[in-house]
Amino acid sequence: MNILAIGDVVGSIGCRFLRQHLPVFKKMKGIDLVIANGENSADGNGLTPVSVQFLYDSGVDVITAGNHSFRRKESYELFDSSEYLIRPANFPSSVPGRGACIVDMGRVQVGVINLMGTIYMESLDSPFDTADRLLADMPKITLVDFHAEATGEKRSFGYYLDGRVSAVFGTHTHVQTADECVLPQGTGYITDLGMTGPIQSVLGVKPELVIEKMRTKMPVRFALAEGDCKMECALFQIDEKSGKTVSVERIQIQ
């Protein structure tokens, strides 16, 4: 089974680029399931019903989120109603939505869990303990989007779940890492998938605006960069019988 995980989709420009390339790429690689982080898919952070539907219509099967999950109020009801839109499971139980889903593909079920790190991030429940609770009800093939800042926390989490899930992939930093591998007990891993959006940018934003913010320490209204884009992702080949990853391919499409 081939499962594609796509890094943070940034704004309408990232959504359009994904639509241009994903359908053909799915056919070329024989991809069975697509997971994409969509927490930045709306212009100005967050997600909206329009951006979520655009990703679904473009060929994404499961949409994960992160610290910008609830940036837009119009997303609250969507998290409750959309079965395959999930937010970090270690948010308080009172917030909208769910932190995991199971996709029934007929011959096999695939679980997807979304968790968020706590180092340099929000003060949430332990992702380690939350994962322990969730895994009791997840199928043999389960992948985890770990939305986190610190590379040490991400790699520690990968080893913690090694042999217990099919794959762990990081999101949030928008910078693709070159450490894709299969861990000793058969879990596919990459610290960060990267992003889908404008190449000449700072995490998708116009560089001059981020520079102004960092130099002056004054409020700056960020705007998305334009121009050529990229889609950064990783392809996990998973053995259906064992649920373990056979290979990981790091990909950048321009």
Question: Is the backbone of residue 241 left (phi > 0), alpha (psi -120 to 50) or beta?
Answer: alpha
> Pairing state of beta strands 195-198 and 62-64?
unpaired
**Which residue has tokens 């869990």?**
113
Residues in a beta bridge with 208: none
| Catalytic choice (68, 147, 172, 174) | 68
Report the side by side order of strands in the sheet with 141-147.
100-104, 109-116, 141-147, 167-171, 188-190, 181-182
Q: Is 142 exposed, middle or buried (0-12, 13-18, 19+ CB in 10 A)?
A: buried
Assigned token pair, 211: 């520079």
Q: Is 174 a catalytic residue?
A: no
Known catalytic residues are 68
